[in-house]
Amino acid sequence: MNTKIDETGDFKPAFNDGGLIAAIAVDHVTKEVYMMAWMNKDALIKTIETGIVHYWSRSRQKLWKKGETSGNVQHVKSIKVDCDQDALLIEIEQVGGGACHTGRKTCFYRELDITTKKLKFS
């Protein structure tokens, strides 16, 4: 077990071998998880510079400003980094409809019923 505690004040995001870092968007008031997507270095820089969340679209292989086509923009309230600096928690204000590309408020609209092993929809 690694008992070394990282108390560095330096922001050093640990991108994976593909140059990406997990970014979890949560409502800044309710703390409800809206979505998880990936950021590359450019997306993270754009997010910090503009205050609007940008992601890296793996399917389209391009930078993606959240809401650029849907109008459902995510305004950054805070960015937190986990202990290993390999995941980001971005507290946001969701403007417009939902965060999910399906039109839902959250991408996490299905829950596994652990007794039946089937998904329930909310």
In a domain, 86, yes or no: yes
Alpha-carbon distance of 18 to 56, in angstroms, equals: 11
SS3 (DSSP) at 77: strand
Can you give the pTM of this predicted structure? 0.89
In a domain, 104, yes or no: yes
Outline where DSSP puts E strands in the chain.
21-27, 33-39, 54-57, 62-65, 73-81, 87-95, 110-113, 118-121
pLDDT value for 1: 59
Residue 81 contacts by C-beta under 8 Å, 6 or more apart in sequence?
11, 13, 87, 88, 89
pLDDT value for 5: 73
Residue-range definition of the domain harbouring residue 40: 21-121
User: In this structure, what CATH number is given to the domain that contains residue 101?
Assistant: 3.10.20.810
pLDDT value for 3: 65
Number of domain units in the chain: 1
**What residues of the chain score a pLDDT lower than 50?**
none
In a domain, 74, yes or no: yes
Tokens of 121: 């929809």
